[in-house]
Chain A
Protein backbone atom coordinates (compact mmCIF):
# COMPACT_ATOMS: atom_id res chain seq x y z
CA UNK A 1 0.00 0.00 0.00
CA UNK A 2 1.54 3.29 -1.08
CA UNK A 3 -0.76 5.60 0.85
CA UNK A 4 -4.01 5.73 2.78
CA UNK A 5 -6.77 7.35 0.75
CA UNK A 6 -9.78 8.75 2.59
CA UNK A 7 -12.93 8.93 0.49
CA UNK A 8 -15.81 10.88 2.06
CA UNK A 9 -19.30 10.97 0.59
CA UNK A 10 -20.77 14.47 0.61
CA UNK A 11 -23.99 15.98 -0.71
CA UNK A 12 -23.82 18.47 -3.59
CA UNK A 13 -25.58 21.01 -1.35
CA UNK A 14 -22.91 20.81 1.36
CA UNK A 15 -19.97 20.66 -1.06
CA UNK A 16 -19.15 24.35 -0.91
CA UNK A 17 -19.29 24.46 2.91
CA UNK A 18 -17.13 21.33 3.22
CA UNK A 19 -14.63 22.71 0.72
CA UNK A 20 -14.39 25.94 2.67
CA UNK A 21 -13.52 23.92 5.76
CA UNK A 22 -10.71 22.20 3.84
CA UNK A 23 -9.36 25.53 2.68
CA UNK A 24 -9.35 26.84 6.24
CA UNK A 25 -7.33 23.82 7.34
CA UNK A 26 -4.76 24.62 4.67
CA UNK A 27 -5.51 21.85 2.17
CA UNK A 28 -4.54 22.19 -1.46
CA UNK A 29 -6.97 21.31 -4.27
CA UNK A 30 -5.39 18.45 -6.18
CA UNK A 31 -7.99 17.75 -8.81
CA UNK A 32 -11.63 17.43 -9.77
CA UNK A 33 -12.44 14.27 -11.63
CA UNK A 34 -15.60 12.90 -13.20
CA UNK A 35 -16.19 9.24 -13.89
CA UNK A 36 -19.06 7.96 -15.95
CA UNK A 37 -20.65 4.89 -14.42
CA UNK A 38 -23.46 3.82 -16.73
CA UNK A 39 -26.18 6.46 -16.50
CA UNK A 40 -24.57 8.25 -13.56
CA UNK A 41 -21.58 10.49 -13.08
CA UNK A 42 -19.31 10.19 -10.08
CA UNK A 43 -17.63 13.43 -9.08
CA UNK A 44 -14.42 13.44 -7.05
CA UNK A 45 -12.89 16.50 -5.41
CA UNK A 46 -9.41 15.67 -4.17
CA UNK A 47 -7.48 17.59 -1.51
CA UNK A 48 -4.04 17.18 -0.05
CA UNK A 49 -2.23 18.51 3.00
CA UNK A 50 1.31 17.30 3.64
CA UNK A 51 0.57 14.20 1.58
CA UNK A 52 -2.63 13.41 3.51
CA UNK A 53 -5.13 12.47 0.83
CA UNK A 54 -8.81 13.38 1.23
CA UNK A 55 -11.42 12.90 -1.44
CA UNK A 56 -15.03 14.13 -1.57
CA UNK A 57 -17.39 12.11 -3.67
CA UNK A 58 -20.98 12.39 -4.83
CA UNK A 59 -23.14 11.17 -7.67
CA UNK A 60 -25.05 13.07 -10.32
CA UNK A 61 -27.27 11.92 -13.21
CA UNK A 62 -25.56 11.68 -16.61
CA UNK A 63 -27.92 14.16 -18.27
CA UNK A 64 -28.53 17.43 -16.48
CA UNK A 65 -25.79 17.16 -13.86
CA UNK A 66 -25.50 20.41 -11.95
CA UNK A 67 -22.94 21.34 -9.31
CA UNK A 68 -22.10 24.54 -7.44
CA UNK A 69 -18.71 26.03 -8.23
CA UNK A 70 -15.91 25.92 -5.69
CA UNK A 71 -13.87 28.48 -7.63
CA UNK A 72 -14.95 31.12 -5.13
CA UNK A 73 -12.90 29.25 -2.53
CA UNK A 74 -10.13 27.76 -4.63
CA UNK A 75 -9.73 30.05 -7.61
CA UNK A 76 -7.64 27.42 -9.40
CA UNK A 77 -10.73 25.19 -9.63
CA UNK A 78 -11.79 27.10 -12.75
CA UNK A 79 -9.64 24.88 -15.00
CA UNK A 80 -11.14 21.67 -13.65
CA UNK A 81 -14.67 23.05 -13.72
CA UNK A 82 -14.35 24.17 -17.31
CA UNK A 83 -12.97 20.76 -18.13
CA UNK A 84 -15.86 18.84 -16.59
CA UNK A 85 -18.42 21.10 -18.22
CA UNK A 86 -16.79 20.69 -21.65
CA UNK A 87 -16.12 16.98 -21.55
CA UNK A 88 -19.01 15.73 -19.43
CA UNK A 89 -21.66 18.43 -19.80
CA UNK A 90 -21.80 19.07 -16.06
CA UNK A 91 -23.33 22.47 -15.46
CA UNK A 92 -21.21 24.44 -13.00
CA UNK A 93 -22.99 27.38 -11.35
CA UNK A 94 -20.93 30.46 -10.62
CA UNK A 95 -17.55 29.56 -12.13
CA UNK A 96 -15.05 32.37 -11.56
CA UNK A 97 -13.70 32.17 -15.10
CA UNK A 98 -16.29 30.52 -17.31
CA UNK A 99 -15.15 29.67 -20.84
CA UNK A 100 -18.75 28.69 -21.75
CA UNK A 101 -17.82 25.46 -23.45
CA UNK A 102 -14.74 26.78 -25.24
CA UNK A 103 -12.03 25.47 -22.95
CA UNK A 104 -11.45 22.39 -25.07
CA UNK A 105 -12.02 22.57 -28.79
CA UNK A 106 -13.57 19.19 -29.45
CA UNK A 107 -15.32 17.98 -32.60
CA UNK A 108 -18.40 16.81 -30.70
CA UNK A 109 -20.06 18.29 -27.65
CA UNK A 110 -19.45 16.55 -24.32
CA UNK A 111 -17.44 13.66 -25.83
CA UNK A 112 -16.89 11.79 -22.58
CA UNK A 113 -20.58 11.02 -21.94
CA UNK A 114 -21.25 9.77 -25.48
CA UNK A 115 -21.35 6.04 -25.97
CA UNK A 116 -18.25 4.68 -27.61
CA UNK A 117 -18.41 4.45 -31.37
CA UNK A 118 -18.55 0.83 -32.53
CA UNK A 119 -15.12 -0.58 -33.21
CA UNK A 120 -14.19 -0.55 -36.90
CA UNK A 121 -15.36 -3.84 -38.36
CA UNK A 122 -12.36 -4.51 -40.57
CA UNK A 123 -8.86 -4.80 -39.18
CA UNK A 124 -6.33 -2.33 -40.64
CA UNK A 125 -5.41 -2.88 -44.26
CA UNK A 126 -3.99 -6.32 -44.72
CA UNK A 127 -0.53 -6.87 -46.03
CA UNK A 128 0.08 -7.01 -49.74
CA UNK A 129 -0.21 -10.43 -51.27
Chain B
Protein backbone atom coordinates (compact mmCIF):
# COMPACT_ATOMS: atom_id res chain seq x y z
CA UNK B 1 0.00 0.00 0.00
CA UNK B 2 1.49 3.26 -1.05
CA UNK B 3 -0.13 6.48 0.02
CA UNK B 4 0.45 9.73 -1.81
CA UNK B 5 2.79 8.20 -4.37
CA UNK B 6 3.10 11.56 -6.10
CA UNK B 7 4.83 13.42 -3.28
CA UNK B 8 8.28 13.18 -4.86
CA UNK B 9 7.09 14.53 -8.20
CA UNK B 10 5.08 17.32 -6.60
CA UNK B 11 8.00 18.35 -4.37
CA UNK B 12 10.38 18.41 -7.32
CA UNK B 13 8.04 20.57 -9.37
CA UNK B 14 7.62 23.06 -6.53
CA UNK B 15 11.12 24.32 -7.26
CA UNK B 16 11.05 24.22 -11.07
CA UNK B 17 9.91 26.86 -13.51
CA UNK B 18 6.58 26.13 -15.15
CA UNK B 19 6.58 24.46 -18.58
CA UNK B 20 3.77 26.69 -19.82
CA UNK B 21 4.44 30.04 -21.50
CA UNK B 22 2.64 33.34 -21.13
CA UNK B 23 0.95 33.16 -24.52
CA UNK B 24 -0.06 35.52 -26.20
CA UNK B 25 2.38 37.94 -24.51
CA UNK B 26 5.19 35.55 -25.23
CA UNK B 27 4.92 34.12 -28.76
CA UNK B 28 5.06 30.38 -29.28
CA UNK B 29 8.44 28.96 -30.21
CA UNK B 30 8.29 28.01 -33.87
CA UNK B 31 9.31 24.45 -34.56
CA UNK B 32 11.39 24.03 -37.71
CA UNK B 33 9.64 21.85 -40.26
CA UNK B 34 6.19 22.61 -38.92
CA UNK B 35 3.45 22.93 -41.51
CA UNK B 36 1.88 26.33 -40.95
CA UNK B 37 0.81 29.21 -43.15
CA UNK B 38 1.17 28.92 -46.90
CA UNK B 39 3.44 31.54 -48.36
CA UNK B 40 4.07 32.36 -52.03
CA UNK B 41 6.97 34.06 -53.77
CA UNK B 42 4.71 35.66 -56.34
CA UNK B 43 7.57 36.91 -58.54
CA UNK B 44 8.47 33.28 -59.38
CA UNK B 45 4.91 32.09 -60.01
CA UNK B 46 4.08 31.20 -63.61
CA UNK B 47 0.33 30.81 -62.95
CA UNK B 48 0.26 27.22 -64.15
CA UNK B 49 -2.79 26.47 -61.89
CA UNK B 50 -1.33 23.10 -60.83
CA UNK B 51 -1.59 24.01 -57.15
CA UNK B 52 -5.26 25.00 -57.47
CA UNK B 53 -6.07 21.78 -59.34
CA UNK B 54 -4.45 19.52 -56.78
CA UNK B 55 -5.67 21.34 -53.66
CA UNK B 56 -7.93 18.88 -51.80
CA UNK B 57 -10.01 21.65 -50.22
CA UNK B 58 -10.21 24.06 -53.19
CA UNK B 59 -8.59 26.75 -51.09
CA UNK B 60 -6.59 28.12 -54.03
CA UNK B 61 -7.80 29.94 -57.09
CA UNK B 62 -5.41 31.00 -59.81
CA UNK B 63 -6.44 33.57 -62.36
CA UNK B 64 -4.37 32.94 -65.46
CA UNK B 65 -5.50 35.91 -67.52
CA UNK B 66 -5.08 38.57 -64.82
CA UNK B 67 -1.99 36.92 -63.31
CA UNK B 68 -3.50 36.78 -59.84
CA UNK B 69 -3.17 34.11 -57.17
CA UNK B 70 -5.93 33.83 -54.53
CA UNK B 71 -6.07 31.86 -51.31
CA UNK B 72 -8.79 31.29 -48.75
CA UNK B 73 -6.82 30.97 -45.52
CA UNK B 74 -9.70 29.39 -43.64
CA UNK B 75 -10.09 26.60 -46.17
CA UNK B 76 -6.39 25.79 -46.37
CA UNK B 77 -5.49 22.72 -44.30
CA UNK B 78 -1.69 23.15 -44.66
CA UNK B 79 -1.36 19.70 -46.20
CA UNK B 80 1.75 20.54 -48.22
CA UNK B 81 0.15 19.19 -51.41
CA UNK B 82 0.56 22.40 -53.44
CA UNK B 83 4.16 22.79 -52.29
CA UNK B 84 4.94 19.32 -53.62
CA UNK B 85 3.40 19.89 -57.06
CA UNK B 86 4.67 23.43 -57.71
CA UNK B 87 7.05 23.26 -60.71
CA UNK B 88 8.80 26.55 -59.85
CA UNK B 89 9.07 25.80 -56.10
CA UNK B 90 7.68 29.23 -55.28
CA UNK B 91 5.30 27.94 -52.58
CA UNK B 92 6.33 27.01 -49.08
CA UNK B 93 4.77 26.53 -45.66
CA UNK B 94 6.09 28.76 -42.93
CA UNK B 95 6.33 27.62 -39.34
CA UNK B 96 3.92 30.18 -37.92
CA UNK B 97 0.17 29.69 -38.10
CA UNK B 98 -1.03 33.21 -38.79
CA UNK B 99 -3.27 35.42 -36.72
CA UNK B 100 -6.95 34.88 -35.94
CA UNK B 101 -9.48 36.52 -38.21
CA UNK B 102 -13.17 37.37 -37.97
CA UNK B 103 -14.05 37.53 -41.65
CA UNK B 104 -13.78 34.93 -44.36
CA UNK B 105 -11.82 36.62 -47.13
CA UNK B 106 -9.79 35.57 -50.11
CA UNK B 107 -6.28 36.89 -49.97
CA UNK B 108 -4.83 37.99 -53.30
CA UNK B 109 -1.24 38.09 -54.47
Binding site for B on A (CB under 8 A): 123-129
Q: Cβ of B61 and Cβ of A126 under 8 Å apart?
A: yes
B contacts with A, residue count (CB < 8 A): 12
- Interface of chain A, main secondary structure: loop
Which residues of chain B are within 8 angstroms of A128 by Cβ–Cβ distance?
70, 105-106, 108
- Of residues 50 through 109 on chain B, the ones whose CB sits less than 8 Å from some CB of chain A are 58, 61, 63, 66, 68, 70-72, 75, 105-106, 108
Task: Give the Cβ gap from A129 to chain B, nearest Cβ, in Å.
Answer: 7
Q: Pull 6 A–B residue pairs with CB atoms less than 8 Å apart, ordered by A.
A: A125-B106, A126-B70, A126-B106, A127-B71, A128-B108, A129-B66
CA–CA, A127 and B70, complex, Å: 6
By a CB distance below 8 angstroms, the chain A residues around B106 are 125-128
Contacts of A124 in B (CB 8 A): 58, 72, 75
